[in-house]
Structure 1
Amino acid sequence: MGSWFASISSDPSRFVPLGGGLLVLLAIVLVLRRWWRSRVRLERRPLLTKAELELLAILRAALPSRLIGCQVSMGALLQPRRGINRRAASLARNKISQKVVDFAVIDPATGFVEALIELDDSTHDARRDAARDRLLAQGRYRVIRIPSRPRPTAETVRPYLASLER
């Protein structure tokens, strides 16, 4: 053992190429590992559920003179009030970011949103829905909530839309 150690310590330059190669290999592994972990993996998903598609057909038939927007971002409907400070504006934007409304009933002549329609299915929570409705009320939007059970039909939806028909 003494002679082996003596030969290494007497000529350490023999290991420099090996050490440099190992460092390069380690760097490559770390870069590939970071790339693999940070890769965004996405896939297509349907915009509307089957129940929402059915309700969309009912809404279009009941309101033929209106445009019906689907999956409308609350950020497209609301904005922070003018004159508030930057922090308050940021908090307001965060409250509505990534939230969507199932349907918007739009007057095609003016682009004005007449009402927002939510299909209340099993994913809805009454407390959260009430908080969302309060946010939308700040923009003076009328929210119409249509229960998903029993399955909506033209007849069961008509009373909810009575104020919109003309």
Structure 2
Amino acid sequence: MLPFYIMTIIGAIGVLGILGALLAVLRRRMGPRIERKAFLTRAEIEVLEYLRRVLPGHHVSCQVSMGALLKPQRGLSRKEFWRTRNRFGQKIVDFVVIDPDTGSVEAVVELDDASHDAENDRARDALLALGQYRVIRIPSRPRPTESIVREATASLRA
């Protein structure tokens, strides 16, 4: 027979194991750990300010879901509807320039920073083109200035 203190240690290890398993189950049920993130980067804040300055007759919205800009065509089967919707529903565009009188989107403006990939950008541009949106891309290098943003958006003031 084992000494009492060894039996106590084995029992304590068993209890700790059970408590650990229960804690793991509770964590899974509580859901993922979530934390707050920055809504805009410093560069996006600057470009937003430049857009608002150089396009005073327009509204500019930021971090807009492509699901607010595009929808699957009518008449698709349920499966094809969701397959199409899933191609763009979770994607976000940096800025949307809106005509304040009509509420129509004049252009989508993307700040091409380190998070952008040329191949993915072409695919996103193609999706937006299907919705007949004009996409204006502003490179993040060199750091955009008001004059760079003014030049990139000149067609919206014409």
Q: Normalized against structure 2, the TM-score is what?
A: 0.83
Separation in 2 of the partners of 1:65 and 1:31? 59
Tell me whether 1:116 sits opposite 2:88 in the alignment.
Answer: no
Q: Tell me the C-alpha RMSD between the 2 structures.
A: 2.0
C-alpha deviations, 1:107-152, integer Å up to 9, x for none? 1111100000000011111111000000111100000000001111
Cross-structure match for 1:138: 130
Tell me whether 1:150 sits opposite 2:142 in the alignment.
Answer: yes
State the 1:33 CA deviation: 2.9
Ranges in structure 1 where 5+ consecutive residues have no aligned partner: 2-25
Separation in 1 of the partners of 2:38 and 2:118? 25
What amino acid is aligned across from residue 149 of structure 2 in structure 1?
Answer: V
Separation in 2 of the partners of 1:30 and 1:140? 54
State the 1:61 CA deviation: 0.3
What amino acid is aligned across from residue 44 of structure 1 in structure 2?
Answer: R
Cross-structure match for 2:4: none
Tell me whether 1:50 sits opposite 2:42 in the alignment.
Answer: yes
Separation in 2 of the partners of 1:48 and 1:94? 24
Cross-structure match for 2:28: 37
Q: Normalized against structure 1, the TM-score is what?
A: 0.79
Which has the higher relative contact order, 1 or 2, with Cα contacts under 8 A spaced 6 or more apart?
2
What amino acid is aligned across from residue 35 of structure 1 in structure 2?
Answer: L
| Runs of 4+ in structure 1 over 4 Å off | 28-32
**Greater Rg over alpha carbons, structure:** 1
Alignment of 1:88-107 (within 5 A): 88-107=80-99
Aligned residues with identical type, % of pairs: 55
Separation in 2 of the partners of 1:146 and 1:29? 51
